[in-house]
């Protein structure tokens, strides 16, 4: 058994000053507010302990990518994000040919069984050409029942989420088919109207993929999908709160409007995360990173991010005022809410019975230590 004490600890959405938890066999077996009941094995008196981050939408990092279906790259990207506190990663793929996508899904299924990642997210190929962002428009296609069934079979339960554009022909059947397979359906990269988005939610869509980005914008006579996603209490909305994709004032307004229980902060990071500016790829697209902003080469189109979850956590706490309430909200949006949105029942909060995944942050909210399933990761 390992006993951890901290000057500040977020236990089950509550900020405890101090707090403590005990782990055994990779699980949390005891926890509580106040001083530890016995001498701790690790005393982080000047630190903050929060739940391990859950990134439900990320394409790579540290120079490696999830999108090519290469095992060594998947391991490197996951390890990079673990060092930044992401103890649960759902690896996002991008639009690819049917054969390539099937191969990538099979590899990620294997890596999920090995617990390198917690599953796959299919962002594409069933997206709008008008809102495709960094996806290769030549490979976009309408949802096809045979392809959907083949991918679900190959994944063998490891696909966690599928993002699609609900206005496409065949999307209604696709939403039902995917949801009936216990896979989360997300609305994104879409030119859908407000009514089309609402209908998709009625059919079973429960997530808005990086809301505002790569979707028809809000207009007072044509509110589009963003408003439909924001106003429905059944929907969790992803936000890329990196200061590039969404203005900080709008991030604050969304959090105020829908609450942290419905906002999942995501990195949408690509391979360039953690590296200097330069040339990279996401899927088949060439990407140029300048001043930490990734764009499709030769265009102004943003191509994912270079952010990490600890960066988003730190920035969000500051934007929300730096209070204990801000700390609790940030912990929910970087761990609890995304875990719940994807039905990941053993991660996302620090309470008895959960996996012992936590991040120890210093007084400036930079990562000091990371615990994964009760074991400390090596210092970086």
The CATH number of the domain where 354 resides is what? 2.30.40.10
Residues 206/166, Cβ–Cβ less than 8 Å: no
Mean pLDDT along residues 280-293: 88
Q: Which residues have a catalytic role annotated?
A: 268
Residues 236/206, Cβ–Cβ less than 8 Å: yes
Give domain status of residue 344, yes or no. Answer: no
- Residue 95 sits at the vertex; the CA angle it makes with 300 and 270, to the nearest 5 degrees, is 55
Asked if 119 and 109 sit in the same domain, the reply is: yes
- pLDDT at residue 380, as a whole number: 56
Mean pLDDT along residues 341-348: 97
Q: Which residues are annotated as part of the binding site?
A: 123, 134, 189, 210, 213-214, 221, 245, 302-304
Asked if 19 and 105 sit in the same domain, the reply is: no
Asked if 155 and 19 sit in the same domain, the reply is: no
d(CA 328, CA 172): 37
**Closest alpha carbon to 358 in 47, 60, 92:** 47
- Tokens 């997530």 correspond to what residue? 207
The number of residues making up the chain comes to 380
d(CA 158, CA 357): 21
Read off the tokens for 379. 């210092």
Task: Say if residue 283's pLDDT is above 90.
Answer: no
d(CA 149, CA 142): 14
Q: Which residues are annotated as part of the binding site for Zn(2+)?
A: 123, 189, 210
Give domain status of residue 336, yes or no. Answer: no
d(CA 310, CA 58): 14
Give domain status of residue 335, yes or no. Answer: no
Mean pLDDT along residues 105-129: 98
- pLDDT at residue 266, as a whole number: 98
Give domain status of residue 138, yes or no. Answer: yes
Phi, psi of 321 (to 5 degrees): 110, -5
**CATH code assigned at 278:** 3.20.20.140
Strand order across the 236-239 sheet: 53-58, 86-93, 120-123, 159-164, 184-187, 207-208, 236-239, 263-265
**Closest alpha carbon to 333 in 262, 267, 269:** 262
Which of the 8 DSSP states describes residue 332? I
Give domain status of residue 339, yes or no. Answer: no
Give domain status of residue 340, yes or no. Answer: no
Asked if 187 and 291 sit in the same domain, the reply is: yes
**Closest alpha carbon to 260 in 349, 184, 333, 167:** 333
d(CA 197, CA 285): 28
Asked if 31 and 166 sit in the same domain, the reply is: no
Tell me the pairing of strands 285-290 and 278-282: antiparallel
CA distances from 210 to 95, 161, 206, 305, 313 (A): 16, 13, 13, 12, 16
Q: Which residues are annotated as part of the binding site for substrate?
A: 134, 213-214, 221, 245, 302-304
- pLDDT at residue 133, as a whole number: 84
Percent of the chain with pLDDT over 70: 100
Asked if 314 and 224 sit in the same domain, the reply is: yes
Task: Say if residue 371's pLDDT is above 60.
Answer: yes
Average pLDDT, the chain: 96
Read off the tokens for 265. 């902060």
Residues 265/309, Cβ–Cβ less than 8 Å: yes
Angle 194-203/171-180 helices, nearest 10 degrees? 30
Biggest CA–CA distance in the chain, Å, is 63
Give domain status of residue 108, yes or no. Answer: yes
Percent of the chain with pLDDT over 90: 93
- pLDDT (tens digit per residue) in 36-80: 999 999 999 999 999 999 999 999 999 999 998 999 999 999 999
Asked if 180 and 228 sit in the same domain, the reply is: yes
Count: domains in the chain = 2
Asked if 118 and 137 sit in the same domain, the reply is: yes
Residues 160/339, Cβ–Cβ less than 8 Å: no
Asked if 125 and 23 sit in the same domain, the reply is: no
- pLDDT at residue 379, as a whole number: 75
Give domain status of residue 341, yes or no. Answer: no
**Closest alpha carbon to 118 in 360, 332, 343, 309:** 343
d(CA 295, CA 77): 20
Name every residue whose Cβ is closer than 8 Å to that of residue 139 and which is 6 or more positions away in sequence: 95, 96, 97, 124, 125, 284
Asked if 144 and 254 sit in the same domain, the reply is: yes
Confidence of residue 260 (pLDDT cuts 50, 70, 90): very high
Domain that includes residue 9, residue range: 2-51+349-376
Asked if 216 and 246 sit in the same domain, the reply is: yes
Asked if 360 and 225 sit in the same domain, the reply is: no
């Amino acid at each position: 058994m390992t006993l951890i004490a901290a000057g500040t600890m977020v236990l089950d959405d509550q900020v405890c000053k101090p707090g403590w938890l005990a782990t055994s066999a990779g699980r949390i077996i005891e926890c509580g507010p106040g001083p530890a009941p016995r001498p701790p094995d690790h005393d982080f008196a000047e630190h903050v302990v929060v739940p391990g981050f859950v990134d439900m939408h990320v394409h790579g990092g540290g120079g490696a990518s999830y999108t090519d279906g290469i095992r060594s790259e998947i391991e490197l990207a996951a390890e990079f994000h673990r060092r930044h506190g992401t103890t649960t990663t759902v690896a996002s793929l991008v639009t690819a040919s049917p054969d390539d996508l099937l191969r990538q899904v099979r590899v990620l299924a294997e890596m999920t069984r090995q617990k390198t990642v917690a599953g796959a997210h299919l962002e594409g190929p069933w997206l709008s050409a008008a809102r495709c962002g960094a996806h290769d428009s030549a490979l976009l296609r309408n949802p096809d029942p045979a392809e959907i069934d083949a991918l679900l079979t190959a994944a063998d339960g490891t696909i966690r989420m599928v993002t699609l554009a609900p206005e496409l022909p065949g999307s209604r059947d696709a939403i039902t088919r995917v949801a009936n397979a216990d896979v989360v359906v997300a609305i994104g990269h879409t030119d859908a109207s407000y009514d089309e988005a609402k209908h998709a939610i009625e059919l079973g869509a429960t997530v808005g993929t990086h809301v505002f980005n790569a979707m028809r914008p809000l207009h007072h006579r044509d509110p589009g999908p963003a408003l439909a996603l924001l106003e429905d209490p059944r929907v969790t909305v992803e936000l890329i709160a990196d200061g590039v994709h969404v203005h900080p004032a709008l991030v604050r307004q969304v959090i105020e409007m829908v609450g942290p229980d419905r906002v999942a902060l995501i990195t949408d990071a690509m391979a360039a995360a953690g590296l200097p500016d330069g040339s990279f790829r996401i899927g088949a697209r060439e990407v140029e990173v300048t001043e930490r902003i990734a764009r499709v080469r030769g265009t102004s189109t943003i191509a994912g991010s270079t952010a990490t979850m600890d960066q988003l956590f730190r920035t969000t706490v500051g934007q929300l005022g730096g209070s204990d309430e801000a700390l609790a909200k940030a912990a929910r949006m970087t761990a609890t809410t995304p875990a719940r949105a994807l039905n990941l029942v053993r991660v996302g909060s620090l309470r008895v019975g959960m996996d012992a995944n936590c991040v120890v942050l210093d007084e400036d909210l930079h990562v000091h230590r990371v615990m994964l399933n009760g074991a400390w990761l090596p210092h970086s």
